[in-house]
Amino acid sequence: MKRALGYEYEEIKEEYENGELTKRIVTTKQIAPDVAAIIYWLKNRMPNKWRDKPVADELERISENITALADLLNNPVPERGLPM
């Protein structure tokens, strides 16, 4: 999830001279959100909504919707009450 949303971290660089710390640089870096990580997270956390393959029930519902649309195309409902 951290990678999916993006995050910040601190990068520390230290320079030594003769075994002694002479310079320490702390830089804050940002990692951008990763689309692949978002997809992976959704598929694992919400599989009913974000799966690759539809479930049989969903296929049946889609089939019913297609049948209803085909019926409407073949037998359009006449418009009523509209002036010509």
Residue 31 lies inside a defined structural domain of this protein:
yes
Note the pLDDT tens digit of each residue in 46-55: 887 887 776 6
84 pLDDT higher than 60:
no
Residue 51 lies inside a defined structural domain of this protein:
yes
Residue 80 lies inside a defined structural domain of this protein:
no
Task: Provide DSSP, 26-56.
Answer: EEEEEE---HHHHHHHHHHH-HHHH-SS--H
Residue 81 lies inside a defined structural domain of this protein:
no
Cβ atoms 1, 33 nearer than 8 A: no
Residue 83 lies inside a defined structural domain of this protein:
no
Q: Is 71 helix (H, G, I), strand (E, B) or coil?
A: helix
pTM of the model: 0.48
Residue 41 lies inside a defined structural domain of this protein:
yes
Residue 47 lies inside a defined structural domain of this protein:
yes
Count the domains in the chain: 1
Structural domain of residue 42, as residue ranges? 2-74
Note the pLDDT tens digit of each residue in 9-20: 999 999 999 989
CA distance from start to end of the chain: 58
Residue 84 lies inside a defined structural domain of this protein:
no
Cα separation, 69 vs 39, in Å, equals 31
Q: Which is higher by pLDDT, 27 or 45?
A: 27
